[in-house]
Structure 1
Amino acid sequence: MSFSSFYAGLTGLKTYSSSLGVIGNNLANLNTIGYKSGRAQFAELVSQAFGTATNGAGNVLQAGLGVRLAGVQSQFSQGALQATGLVTDMAIQGNGFFVLRDANGARMYTRAGNFQFDKDGYLVNPAGHRVQAYTQRDALGRIQPSGDLGDVLIPLGLQSDPQATGVMRMLLNLDAEADLAAPPFATSMSIYDSLGAEHDLTMRFTPQDTNADGTIDQWLWEAVLPASELAGGGTGDTVVGSGTLQFDGTGQLVSPTTDQSISIPAWANGANAQTVTWQLFDPDSGDPVVTSYAKSSVLSDTFQDGFPPGELQGLSVDASGLITGTFSNGQTQELAQVAVANFNNPGGLLKAGDNEFVATVGSGAAVIGEAGLGGRGSIAAQALELSNVDITEQFTDLIIAERGYQSNSRVITTTDEVVQEALSIKR
């Protein structure tokens, strides 16, 4: 008699035991961030053919030799997203993986976005592997999502550079009915030097001429700074810019027709010399922002583009993975853009532990780019992707695997009984 049923039952026990292991691993990772469930796949063993014999229909006579585990397929379906409120937590909505780098420079890939900053300011996962991102900027300081990837490094106390004032604007009215003999109208505004130090620039306006009706139509303007704040020092004030403003009978500025320049020499604190453009016209509408109506001289509003240095106060991440810093001086700065990798065959990735995968020949090379483009998913900020394990499905599979194991056990015990019965014939 043939003992093939013994071996078929044995292969069934081994295979269903492996299936139970896969299910158990899924259930064990029910609450693992970014975990992707596995599914055991079975395949029959090569059948045993009885020579070249066929039945009446010409079909080959053959019998199966059992089953084997063909593989464990990772299920990359989307897991539910859970808001966390932590700025370093990220999740991918759609296809793709975060890119990581270990201490040896090897790349890994993960769906688990529970990141944090280490003691050196690098954005890392719980295993200490560094998140990879685009870090190159253009001339305007904008991150360019192309080229080589780099580590996300945002050290504690990161500062934004100061910017010297290059443009200023004043929404100003000069009283057309002012007395020619009255003291000049003076007002001041803050400007910044190249070191980020703040200075008070005084703008002084003196009436010069009148129309036939006695209203002022011409004013002398002077930009004044304390001499003690400029290189070389001294006492009193230093005029760093001057000119004449001409108005028509309706109080509109008619001359000059272009913006004016204020030239500041080097500062006493070592800051560089600078030229400030005084904008007399709105850059959007082109209308004059300095008027001369018959009402009190008044400065209504000011604008200047300088600012002091600032310390990092907060971070934000948008759907493209762009990390932006907000600083104490009110400025924002693009710091990095988290890269996302996609694969032609994600099922070919090799699990490496710590919720990480490595690329293989079967997965194909990683196609890395900006989130939300090229079939890559978008980034959900302050959220994590939960495990995609369906507990109901797993318990159903568990029952099926258990019954399969029991059935194959029964095949072995039944075959043993048949063998015992055959042996008893001799007795």
Structure 2
Amino acid sequence: MTLAALFSGASGLAANSTALDVVGNNLANLNTTGYKTQRTLFRDQVYQLLDGGSAAGVTGSGGTNASQLGNGVTVGTIDTQFTQGAVNPTGRSLDAAISGNGFFVLRSPTGQLYSRAGNFDVDSSGFLVEPSTGNRIQRTGTAGEGSATLPGFQVAGNNDIRVPIGSGVPGVPTSNVTFRGNVSSKTAVGDPAVNLTPIQFFDSQSGSHTLSVSFTKTADNTYSVSATATDATVTLPPTSVTFDTSGKLLSPASLAISITGIAGAATQTVNLNFGTPGQSTGLTQTGDATDGAAVTQDGSGSGTLLSVSIDANGTIQGLSSNGRTVPVAQLAIASFNNQGGLIRAGTNTFSTGPGSGEPLIGSANTGGRGAISGGALEGAGVDIAVEFSRLIIAQRGFQVNARTISAANDTLQELANIIR
């Protein structure tokens, strides 16, 4: 019996020593980005059956319970607690934190890995990587692959994310010009054209030109429109712009013009937007001086990619020097049927295990995956108070099992003394 107590105490020392190791590792990773705490769960070991017990007798005698002797304790499991860590702003555009379920997807030389740590950087080749290992961050969807109006930063079929800072971003041809201001009602019928302040517009090759629009009064409250553009031919439909007796625009709200003859550029249609009929938000006609002007246009010239940011859906948005915001890529987010089955691979990463199932990869904010907080990192999910409590419990467990061994040793010593 005393020998059994020795072995039980030894198993208790080993199990509680492991618990101390786990707590120590948690506390050591108190400041590790995206770290998830572990906990140690014990289970008792195999039992020696001393008496199997008996059922109640037919003569009215009572039954007996089984008698078993335990053989100590062992570590049942060391599991991971995927509690949400605090999301702390960093102000760094390439940092990202997941609020909710999911993992960033990384490609390593040995296979695909998953991480909650979003401290990313761009390597010398322009790829988005985990800086301490060089593992490349993966994308999902077609964002950043380009279209007729968007630049292509990503290669179809390759999920490595490229962030080519300094690369060219094409412009957008102008399709709308908006006017504001007044046309003087004191203009006499047939007087020379009233010139509105011109504006710069852009063709399909990002070339810039000047568009000038003029009004000529043909009758009371009625004007014909003409337009010219540098290095181009402008064609207008035969439409008159009219105002009511209070000076508000009657018609038309807009006028579509055709611009041709720009060397190498496509023919483009530009809508001249004069305002909402019946309101004074666009062009008006009053007795004040003419100050009508083209105030905005929706085109842009070519530019270069200056910086990026990450939105809640995990889309990396690029800001160009021409003012355009264009999608660069969308971060892939993986979820699992049983994330507790993931295997820790070090360097803040996990790999799939037999109990985790295959990754379900998609975009943030879909399929139960969490949202992305750009310019922030998730802190470690270590609760110091809980860990100190576990530390004390494991320490006491170690102490009492050491006392068990000491007591068993004393008993054996007494037995040895009887022989003397």
Same fold (TM over 0.5): yes
Specify the SS of the correspondent of 2:139: strand
Q: Does structure 1 residue 48 correspond to structure 2 residue 48?
A: yes
> After superposition, where does 1:14-413 map in structure 2 within 5 Å?
14-50=14-50, 52=52, 57-104=63-110, 106-125=111-130, 126-137=132-143, 150-171=159-180, 173-179=182-188, 182-187=191-196, 188-207=198-217, 209-210=218-219, 215=220, 217-219=222-224, 221-226=225-230, 229=231, 241=236, 243=238, 245=240, 247=242, 250=245, 259-267=255-263, 271-279=264-272, 282=275, 293-413=286-406
In structure 2, relative to structure 1, the CA distance for the partners of 1:16 and 1:176 (3 Å cut) is closer
* AA aligned opposite 2:36: K
Mean CA deviation greater in 180-189 or 23-32 = 180-189
4+ residue segments displaced more than 6 Å: 251-258, 283-288
Equivalent-residue separation in structure 2 for 1:48 and 1:319 (angstroms)? 58
* Contact 1:264–1:275 (8 Å) recurs in 2: yes
Q: Does structure 1 residue 10 correspond to structure 2 residue 5?
A: no
Equivalent-residue separation in structure 2 for 1:248 and 1:365 (angstroms)? 67
1:162: how far off? 0.9
Mean CA deviation greater in 148-157 or 33-42 = 148-157
Mean CA deviation greater in 36-45 or 302-311 = 302-311
* Contact 1:202–1:225 (8 Å) recurs in 2: yes
Equivalent-residue separation in structure 1 for 2:409 and 2:14 (angstroms)? 18
Aligned counterpart for 1:417 among listed residues 376, 385, 410: 410
* AA aligned opposite 1:34: G
The CA deviation string for residues 267-314 of structure 1, in whole angstroms up to 9 with x for no partner, is 2xxx31322334355479899955655554432343322210122333
* Contact 2:248–2:279 (8 Å) recurs in 1: no
Equivalent-residue separation in structure 2 for 1:288 and 1:397 (angstroms)? 68
* Contact 1:172–1:300 (8 Å) recurs in 2: yes
Mean CA deviation greater in 360-369 or 288-297 = 288-297
Equivalent-residue separation in structure 2 for 1:288 and 1:418 (angstroms)? 100
Equivalent-residue separation in structure 1 for 2:2 and 2:97 (angstroms)? 56
Equivalent-residue separation in structure 1 for 2:386 and 2:249 (angstroms)? 78
1:319: how far off? 2.4
* Contact 1:134–1:149 (8 Å) recurs in 2: no
1:49: how far off? 1.0
Specify the SS of the correspondent of 2:382: coil
1:107: how far off? 1.8
Equivalent pairs: percent with the same residue? 36
1:205: how far off? 4.0
1:388: how far off? 1.6
TM-score by length of 1: 0.82
1:248: how far off? 6.9
Equivalent-residue separation in structure 2 for 1:408 and 1:284 (angstroms)? 89
* Contact 2:185–2:221 (8 Å) recurs in 1: yes
1:257: how far off? 8.7
1:353: how far off? 0.1
Unpaired segments ≥5 residues, structure 1: 231-237
Q: Which residue of 2 aligns with 1:233?
A: none
Equivalent-residue separation in structure 1 for 2:213 and 2:234 (angstroms)? 10
Equivalent-residue separation in structure 1 for 2:323 and 2:277 (angstroms)? 23
Q: Which residue of 1 aligns with 2:58?
A: none
* AA aligned opposite 2:366: L
* AA aligned opposite 2:17: S
* AA aligned opposite 2:176: V
The CA deviation string for residues 209-237 of structure 1, in whole angstroms up to 9 with x for no partner, is 44xxxx57453x432234xx36xxxxxxx
* Contact 1:54–1:61 (8 Å) recurs in 2: no
Across the two proteins, how many residue pairs are aligned to each other?
405
Unpaired segments ≥5 residues, structure 2: 56-61
